[in-house]
Every structure is written in C-alpha cells, then in structure tokens.
Amino acid sequence: MIDLQHEARQLIAALDLTNLNDDCTPADIDALIARAATPEGAVAAICIWPRFVAQARAGLPASIRLATVVNFPAGGEDVDASVAETAQAVADGADEIDLVIAWRRVAADPGFIERQVRAVKAAAGSATLKTILETGELADPDLILSACEAALGGGTDFLKTSTGKTAVSATPEAGRILLQAIRAHGGTVGFKPSGGIKSFEDAKLYRDMATEICGEAYPTPERFRLGASGVLTDLLSVARGEGRDGAKAGY
C-alpha cells in the first residue's frame, strides 16, 4: 500500500519554495522563510531574486539552502553579465545558482550554451549550478536534447526545465528528455521540473518518473528538486491526511 503521507513529506523535502514575483518585497521574503520550515519537515531550499539574497541569508536556517536566479527570466547572451551576477550572489550568501541559458541560441550554436554554462559554473565555485533550459520555448524534442547535452558538457549540476515565466513550463514530455539525458550522462546530475506544478499528483508524477528512469536511489533532495510556490499547501494537506480544498497554485 502506498503511504501518501510519507510521499508528501518526501516531496516537501525536495521543494525549492519559490517567490520570483515581479512585485516581491522584503516582507514577502520574510514570509517565505517562515513557511520554509514546516511541521512536516523543511523544504530543500528557497529560490528568490538576487536582490534579496543577503536579507535571506541572515534569516534562513542553515539546514535550508538558498537559491537565486541569474540571467532571469529572459535568457540573454551577455555571459560576462551572468558571471558578474553569479559572483555577487555567491558573495551575498547564495548556495545555489539557477541560470537561464541563452535558449534562442540552441538551434544554431549549442557550443555557445556549453561555454555559457561553463563560465557561470566557474563563477559559482562551490555553489550548486542548476541550468534552466526553458523547455516550453524550445518545444522541439531535438532542441531540448541539444540544450541538455550542451549544459551537461558545460558541467552543470542540475538540469531544470523552466523559468515559470512562459506560457508552457514543465511538462512530463520535457522532463523525460531531461532525465534520459541525465541517465546517459552517468545518472548523477540533478533534475528540477519547475513551473505549473500545482498539486501533490503533479509533484509525485515527476518524482516517479525520476525513479523510473534514473533508479530508486536517485530522487533525493541532492538530485531531485521541485520548483514551485503554491504547491506546498497541497503537499502539507496530504502529509497531514487532511481534506484538500482544490485551491492549488503553482509558479
């Protein structure tokens, strides 16, 4: 029998609790930190704008990692700017960097993506690098795979689907491509679906897929994350065995 409460707690432990709203305020960051350590266990990380990293570092428990975004959300081509943004974020206390690649360059010049990832990885130092491929905009499976291979060649620590700022975010079809690329690369790089994850069932689907493709031992918080904001409410309801109101929102 499947223990849904246990599974919900595992998903909470893999969550990058996110606020990347354009109107995010310092008070919103304090509220995010307060939500991150739940009675059912802490989330893996919070993910926020770079301008709030220093504030969050001062108030975030050491057991919860601090992630921020660079080259976000547009995915521009100025590598020097992304490197500088990364270096500042790490100096401010970021544990993890979520980089948006210049996804418009994938079709014509995947080598540019590999160089971009490698440069930001070097600037990140010991911080974890998650590479956002913007799979909903790439759309074509061959382009998504090409982006995966370029990011893996550049030394990324995670492949991440989306910014959550486009019409199409994470999809099972894109997630499968990312996971198959990770398996082909040795199965040690992490996987982060993000955007559009609105319910326990959405989150569980991706964790089950990661297990299916990369093995039972794969989806720990060190290698499997979920990028979302509103899904925590639903995960907590399932973890507590409570009724669910259906009001589920994802970033």
Written as six digits, the tokens of 216 are 């039972």
Please list the helix, strand and coil fractions of the chain in percent, rounded to the nearest 5, in that order: 45, 15, 35
Active-site choice (121, 130, 192, 204): 192
Please check whether residue 246 lies inside any domain of the structure. no
Active-site choice (121, 130, 160, 204): 160
Written as six digits, the tokens of 86 are 């990364």
- Is residue 198 flagged as an active site residue? no
pLDDT in tens, 219-248: 999 999 999 999 999 999 999 998 786 544
Residue 34: CB partners within 8 Å, gap ≥ 6? none
pLDDT at position 249 over 50: no
Distance CA 180, CA 111 (A): 21
* Helix/strand number for the chain, H first, E second: 10, 10
- Is residue 130 flagged as an active site residue? no
**Number of folded domains in the chain?**
1
Active-site choice (98, 157, 202, 234): 98
Say which DSSP state 55 is in.
H
Please check whether residue 80 lies inside any domain of the structure. yes
The per-residue b/e assignment along 75-112, b for 16 or more CB within 10 angstroms, e otherwise, is beeebeebbebbbbbbebbbbbbbbbbbbebbeeebeb
Please check whether residue 175 lies inside any domain of the structure. yes
Please check whether residue 207 lies inside any domain of the structure. yes
Reported pTM: 0.96
Please check whether residue 24 lies inside any domain of the structure. yes
Boundaries of domain holding 234:
4-240
CATH of the domain at 138: 3.20.20.70
Planar angle of CA 212, 19, 244, nearest 5 degrees: 60
Please check whether residue 202 lies inside any domain of the structure. yes
Least confident window among 86-90, 97-101, 148-152, 228-232: 228-232
Q: What is the mean pLDDT of residues 66-90?
A: 98
Distance CA 65, CA 83 (A): 21
β-pairing verdict for 158-160 and 128-132: parallel
Please check whether residue 230 lies inside any domain of the structure. yes
- Is residue 192 flagged as an active site residue? yes
Please check whether residue 209 lies inside any domain of the structure. yes
